Amino acid sequence: MERVVVTGVGMVTPVGVGTAPSFDALIAGKSGVGPITLFDADERYPTRIAAEVKDFDPTLFMEKKKLKEVSRFIPFALAATKMALEEADLGLTDEERERTGVFIGVGMGGLENLEKCTLTLEHKGPGRISPYFIPSLIANMAAGQVSIEYGFRGPSFAHTSACSSSAHALGEALRWIQYGRAEVMVAGGAEATIAPIGIAGFAAMFALSRRNDDPTRASRPWDVDRDGFVCGEGAGTLILESLSRAKRRGAKILAEITGYAATSDAYHITKPAEGGHGAVRSMRDALKDARLNPDQIGYVNAHGTSTPPGDVAEAKAMVEVFGSHATDKHLWVSSTKSMMGHLLGAAGAVESAVCVQELARGIV
């Protein structure tokens, strides 16, 4: 099978617009969490904090007149992809564009537009619904808009599996190149759910932190006083390329992706299986796929959402998989959600991009 490398990375996150600003902020320990500004989160909301993307100008990444056609997650995806493509400098031929695919994982899509148009329907009637309503919110349109923008005519679709959406998008893009179906894949994730219905919905599940008086320290993975995750937004894109193509063109290789696995707990709609057994199987299968032993792993960017049951299950899973390599403190583990919040469907891609930067810079 083909070996697969990363030649470009782009990030739009609550701690920075751009890969370098985002990573620099993380290394400095800067939190992107604060009071919600995207809507009026008054006292009726038990959670009034979130990790919003700040100072984002969508007109830098798409035509102003087209903004009415999209929900917030789509410009995020276009921005992260533009950055990644600029770094990769692929030099694609027309023939290669025929086989270049776009997999962008999205968990919920244009939630804010769904809410707005529902209110428009209720108060003004069906005649006032925008013809762009459906295309603006469906999850696959992040990949679709990227494909249209750059003329990538290979496979284009969204993987939707909640918080695993973009991790699955990366893994499946890896497979397309490994099996020789493509030499280049654009893979990542995008999400923007900081809207009244989104915050109210997650709060109703008792999933969100209610530490409104201390937002920058609200997301605290593994802390004994953790009380839920903080909703974040943003996008991450990685350019995956076959090693042979990257070498032929003299590309700067940022990292190699060597293993991938996916499992299901088949247990509960939100709670992880006891002892993190699903995560154990997934990590072991990924290690097997990569032909690596547990003691060869130096760092894990954990899911670490700051939820009471989730963090315990994940910690147990890591101990089960890595054993003394972890308990004797030879394995570095962190959760960047402590600063960026939980980017939901975009989390896997953004955190993979963070890992690539850690490798490239030699800093955890």
- DSSP code of residue 331: S
- Whole-angstrom distance, CA of residue 288 vs CA of residue 294: 10
Q: Which of 159, 168, 303, 325 is catalytic?
A: 303
Active-site residue, 325 included:
no
CA distances from 364 to 10, 153, 357 (A): 18, 37, 9
Active-site residue, 277 included:
no
CA distances from 31 to 38, 53, 257, 306 (A): 18, 12, 29, 15
Q: Which of 159, 168, 325, 342 is catalytic?
A: 342
Contacts of 363 (CB under 8 A, 6+ apart): 27
CA distances from 299 to 21, 110, 282, 315, 332 (A): 22, 34, 16, 14, 5
Active-site residue, 342 included:
yes
Q: Are 142 and 106 in contact (CB under 8 A)?
A: yes
Chain center to CA of 303:
11
CA distances from 1 to 182, 244, 286, 333 (A): 12, 11, 16, 30
- Whole-angstrom distance, CA of residue 135 vs CA of residue 63: 16
CA distances from 358 to 113, 167, 304, 354 (A): 36, 18, 18, 6
Taking the CB of residue 131, how many other CB atoms lie within 10 A of it? Answer: 8
Q: Are 31 and 217 in contact (CB under 8 A)?
A: yes
Q: Which of 117, 159, 163, 325 is catalytic?
A: 163
Q: List, by residue number, the catalytic residues.
A: 163, 303, 342
